[in-house]
Chain A
């Protein structure tokens, strides 16, 4: 089977989310990549070095700069004439474009796969991860999105892919990019952080959240997350949110502070390798999934922990 994997990037650098999709695709067959953007040749060069990669299809055109689905989906659909599966990471970009590609090909997409069980058989979470379905496709072509935490990342070195320039349909003229507000931070991104320190509603307000959570995260070089309750209460912006309706994370260590452990939060972090919980309520559901728990007042315990580490 020949697969075409979507390379996630910002026109300058390839994003890590690509690497799990490469691993998933490699279980199906040959791995080819597609880089669509503007002034993004450096991304294609990076992508060509990923272990196990064959061809890198580079579509460098102003029409693809902001990866508008209206322009990029027809480009990908064209390339599917000579590929059998389109594989994208289940990022907001992947989720935006893959179903549009699937519909152009008259294919039912398989979303957010957790494993490859056979040539056309996959597992995927349903009901917010409360159940795992095994599904088999009867379509001639496959369109798949991949849950990044479920697959190892392919190595970024060792590959010797060849770059081939391609072109596709021009700007569809249906949509235009206006602006982006992307938070600039030196902190690791939640979905790729090795350690995450997360805070809940118990943190009281935005200022206290910052005072308690940030020093500990700094000490551990950790990403900062939050429960939906903390986001709803306005302590932190929405892109901090870990859970069914936010980001799905699986770091080496997840430290939940003042988080009770609602189903919706657990759905986003229960695949973390080690879960540490600090909460003053010893009956909080978070302790049912935590490997290490400390029943304590977080306002005393967390600063003490930060100091002693």
Chain B
């Protein structure tokens, strides 16, 4: 079985995004970029499935600018076998991403497409579900545990109030949540080796996908800022404040 792992190059999760003064977006110039953290978890999970002898090959794909090559090299250094960059400088929405991924997943006959539940830039949380719909395949979203067994995969999902387990017939789409695993760091020898692993470059038109956006962002602004209040001296003063709120 092959596993396809889509990865996205996004602002590093430790960087506080700054909104541009003209309201046109978030300033990404000279900002540290990294692999979307949820996608890193997807790469790790795919590697673990391969290490368990349940997959033969892992292919990473990224849709984005030429620099997304760096993100793919990170995936290759972690243990992915080869990579595909679908190069475009346009912003590609989840629906169009899903259409490109569908074409690749079919071309590669992937048994599992494993991807992050959401990207930490646009926070859409859509791509995996859309891909599953377009392919007419089952989806295991917000995965906490993934167990591949023959022609099916059992996914324990993080849901409001607890966990839910579903069994899906392969091929299937799985989206990863935070507790699924802790991604490994790539070792230096593996980083060197990754430079020699195959990386193909394609374009959205190779897959016949129109990436024209359906949503127009007309403004991006700072969220309302909360002001600090007052500090009280002791517990008695706090008790008085809480009583004044009418909750005790």
Contacts and interface: CB of A to CB of B under 8 A. Distances in A.
Q: Do A and B bind each other?
A: yes
Query: What band does the interface of chain B fall in when counting residues whose beta carbon is under 8 Å from A?
Result: 35 or more
Interface string B11-33: 10000110100000010000000
Given A135-B215, A175-B168, A245-B178, A183 B161 contact: yes
A181 B162 contact: yes
A181 B217 CA distance: 40
A180 B165 contact: yes
A200 to B, nearest CB: 17
A294 B169 contact: no
Contacts of B214: 107-108, 137-139
Contacts of B229: 275, 290-293
Interface string A87-108: 0000111011111111110111
B63 interface: no
Contacts of A130: 16-17, 19, 26, 223
Nearest to B214: A108
Interface stretch (B68-76, B132-140, B190-198): B132-140
A280 to B, nearest CB: 13
A215 interface: no
Contact of B93 (A108, A253, A278): A108
Contacts of B228: 287-290, 293
Given A108-B214, A139-B214, A294-B238, A179 B165 contact: yes
B231 A126 contact: no
Nearest to A73: B133
Interface in A101-138: 101-104, 106-112, 121, 125-138
B221 interface: yes
**Chief secondary structure at chain A's binding surface:** mixed
Given A108-B93, A138-B214, A100 B231 contact: no
B146 to A, nearest CB: 13
A167 interface: no
Contacts of A252: 245, 247
Given A175-B167, A180-B165, A189-B161, A70 B125 contact: no
Interface string B216-227: 111111110010
Interface in B87-124: 93-95, 98, 120-124
Interface stretch (A42-50, A55-63, A157-165, A300-308): A300-308
B245 A253 contact: yes
B248 interface: yes
A112 B126 CA distance: 11
A220 B162 CA distance: 24
Given A103-B95, A293-B229, A294-B235, A276 B120 contact: no
A291 B245 CA distance: 12
Contact of A127 (B121, B216, B241): B121
Contacts of A233: none
B160 interface: yes
A28 B128 CA distance: 28
B162 A177 contact: no
B67 interface: no
Contact of B160 (A135, A191, A195): A191
B129 interface: yes
Interface in A165-222: 172-183, 189, 191, 194-195, 219-220
Nearest to A308: B239
A226 to B, nearest CB: 14
A121 B219 CA distance: 11
Nearest to A112: B123
B124 A111 contact: yes
A301 B214 CA distance: 53
Contacts of A220: 247-248
Contact of B94 (A99, A172, A294): A99
Name, among A127, A274, A292, the residue most crowded by chain B CB atoms within 10 Å (CB to CB).
A127
Contact of B126 (A99, A128, A219): A99
Nearest to A143: B126
Interface in A244-293: 245, 247, 252-253, 263, 270, 274-276, 278, 282, 287-293
Chain A to chain B: the 6 pairs with minimum beta-carbon distance, closest first: A291-B229, A99-B129, A103-B133, A108-B214, A103-B130, A99-B126
Interface of A: 66, 68-70, 73, 91-93, 95-104, 106-112, 121, 125-139, 172-183, 189, 191, 194-195, 219-220, 237-239, 245, 247, 252-253, 263, 270, 274-276, 278, 282, 287-296, 301, 304-305, 308-309
30 contacts: A68-B166, A70-B138, A92-B141, A92-B158, A92-B160, A95-B129, A96-B142, A100-B139, A103-B134, A104-B133, A109-B126, A110-B215, A125-B123, A127-B11, A130-B16, A130-B26, A131-B26, A132-B223, A175-B139, A175-B166, A178-B167, A183-B162, A220-B247, A275-B229, A282-B231, A288-B228, A292-B230, A293-B228, A295-B231, A308-B235
Given A126-B123, A131-B221, A276-B242, 9 more contacts: A69-B141, A99-B128, A103-B133, A111-B125, A133-B217, A135-B215, A177-B165, A253-B242, A304-B235
